[in-house]
Structure 1
């Protein structure tokens, strides 16, 4: 792991003595990282992919730093060990940067804690850089009932570096028609053999759903997509099947896939995967008990790899195609949702998945979760309908990342 220390030292301070003045902290950093001391005059030689920290080596550098405001890494991480009046300068610089809307943090104190903090900040930086340039395919258009789930493509690209790409459903129909039943027969048999049971769905339904999966995957490969959100209800008229199976299989392959053209939820799923390495479950909050702080999340698709067992069903609302009823492992979970048109708000909570429910009037995969925080958020200030669940407690990691990107947490 490489860290670049952009070194600001007073002109009255000899550059050769920077090392000797800060020997303790630099020696400690070099035990864990490859450390490059970069003179502030060479700041332009660093690329956006270089993890950089502003090393305040002496006092009296406040003006030097603000003169290079446009070139400073964002967020601004200031390292000051207190020697040579460095902490005093860092405090002044941090205040000035924050008054200009730049996220800023000072690394100072016990060396082991500084090391731990740098590791966290580096992880956030790498996640942010991983998102940069990723393409999210919007296949079809958002469902017309998602009136609060829009995203401004330009603002999201500026903030996160991701690009939303509109793809007509006609591309999917074309590849769907080109895919024959024989091409998918073996894959259908293999999947059915792994299922705990097959209920309402027929072999013909399975073949259609697998053909649709192959068609969508071709578009993903052609367009170099990292994620897709699918206008699944519009597909049914043309293909006679739903996208639930396709989305489940794509998620298992590491291609983040969500339903109903929900632009905010698919970004959330992508950010979760980049930051934690974990797949996630996009679902409707279908029951909420504000007294016990319990919710039931439900949807007709889930990555099969996230389940302990699964049952092949049909799609709940339309009673057609293939739906997946996943039996999920109990234990710690995290619920998250990025919202607003510029993706600068978020909800985040942890809880325990206590049981897999089986209500006949809900989507196929259903889980009951006991939240560690009040469930009345969903009734008083929800960020739309769909929310994202992943196994494990990742509250600190996700909160750190979203806060670092100046997002507002909604309680």
Structure 2
């Protein structure tokens, strides 16, 4: 197991006073692991030089040892490598105090992090990360993107993981390079398989196809595994929405989220990578004692569907899908926290005063779930809720299971 090791001391400390401790630590760790690095850092410029000498992206885990307090600022920079991290602290020179601060910074960014204070704990933590390597790598190395901006009404959105940002200006460049005939061909099969086309005419369907192809080419060029898009911003310029494109991508196995919400995208990525299934992202439209209604203008095109307009604008191409009955999980991620509830899909509704796809979920004590959840958008997936909760816990989330 290859382990990157980095020490931190404050700008006020004398590095020579810690030379023996550094040497002993590396010697002991090298008996069990392939150690790389061993740098002693004081300031951010030291971090920059360290990056040039060792590629920490290639290690299996990182050990950060704050030898003194005042080292949080430089050691936190190692979060960028998204490698499982063990923070080692000792009882002197405010080492443990700094370690606790660093650990929380890493956890907020969903980097698996453990604080230890002796060699046996350190070894056990590193071996535990080695056992989880396949699972953690699937999660930590995911490449996701945001096209446009996070919708401004998502006032609880908090996201600290790295992602690739693609401006709407760049998106429009891709869109303009897609012709009308290409756009039509992209959605022809979807149109032919629809049970009914209610509002959209050919022009709207062509625009939907052009949006789909523009995004597909972005995903290829930027090497993204999933994306979210600030969809409402397209309405003013194009008179169209990406609802149909999102439905198509999710059916194809590419996680695609609405409204620029990265937390929902992350949840979709987890479901796809670990369960091989899509997730339906929706608004909480209503609830009672034992039910919740989830609604949105898109859904994976894996079931029966009608093509509608987008609900709020009356423009573009939305999807009214008929989700099958069955047991599943309803969940919400925000930052390092997650809520998961066991549900049963009971029925689909067809109110003209809600987003187009509307699904009725049976859930025990629905008001308690609503009271404890973390914001509006939720994901529905046909998976076991306890398995999902266990996985999210392994990945470093603080999970509430209902």
For normalisation by structure 2, the TM-score amounts to 0.68
Q: Say whether residues 1:404 and 2:394 are aligned partners.
A: yes
Q: Is the 8 A contact 1:310 1:325 kept in 2?
A: yes
For residues 339 and 374 of structure 2, the distance between their equivalents in structure 1, rounded to whole angstroms, comes to: 7
| Aligned mate of 1:361, from 353, 361, 379 | 353
Question: How many residues are aligned here?
Answer: 303
5 Å matches for 1:223-234? Answer: 223-234=222-233
Q: Is the 8 A contact 2:330 2:380 kept in 1?
A: yes
CA 44–407 in structure 1, closer or farther in 2 if over 3 Å, else same: same
Give the drift of 1:381.
2.6
1:287 alignment partner in structure 2: 286
5 Å matches for 1:173-184? Answer: 173-184=172-183
1:164 alignment partner in structure 2: 163
Q: Is the 8 A contact 2:296 2:356 kept in 1?
A: yes
2:325 alignment partner in structure 1: 330
Secondary structure of 2:224 counterpart: coil
| Aligned mate of 1:384, from 375, 395, 402 | 375
| Aligned mate of 2:140, from 128, 132, 152 | 132
CA 50–336 in structure 1, closer or farther in 2 if over 3 Å, else same: farther
Q: Is the 8 A contact 2:212 2:242 kept in 1?
A: yes
Give the drift of 1:251.
1.4
Deviation per residue, 1:233-258 (Å, 9 max, x gap): 00111111101011111112222100
1:296 alignment partner in structure 2: 293
CA 197–133 in structure 1, closer or farther in 2 if over 3 Å, else same: same
Q: Is the 8 A contact 1:331 1:392 kept in 2?
A: no
2:149 alignment partner in structure 1: 141
Give the drift of 1:132.
2.3
CA 379–279 in structure 1, closer or farther in 2 if over 3 Å, else same: closer
Q: Is the 8 A contact 2:145 2:165 kept in 1?
A: yes
Secondary structure of 1:304 counterpart: coil
1:67 alignment partner in structure 2: none
For residues 51 and 359 of structure 1, the distance between their equivalents in structure 2, rounded to whole angstroms, comes to: 52
Structure 1 portions without partners, runs of 5+:
5-38, 53-72, 77-96, 108-117, 157-162
Q: Is the 8 A contact 2:241 2:317 kept in 1?
A: yes
1:351 alignment partner in structure 2: 343
Q: Is the 8 A contact 1:49 1:129 kept in 2?
A: no
Deviation per residue, 1:353-397 (Å, 9 max, x gap): 0001111111111110101x421245423211100110132x232
Give the drift of 1:51.
9.1
Secondary structure of 1:388 counterpart: strand
Secondary structure of 1:376 counterpart: helix
For residues 200 and 376 of structure 1, the distance between their equivalents in structure 2, rounded to whole angstroms, comes to: 36
Q: Say whether residues 1:248 and 2:247 are aligned partners.
A: yes
RMSD after superposition: 3.1
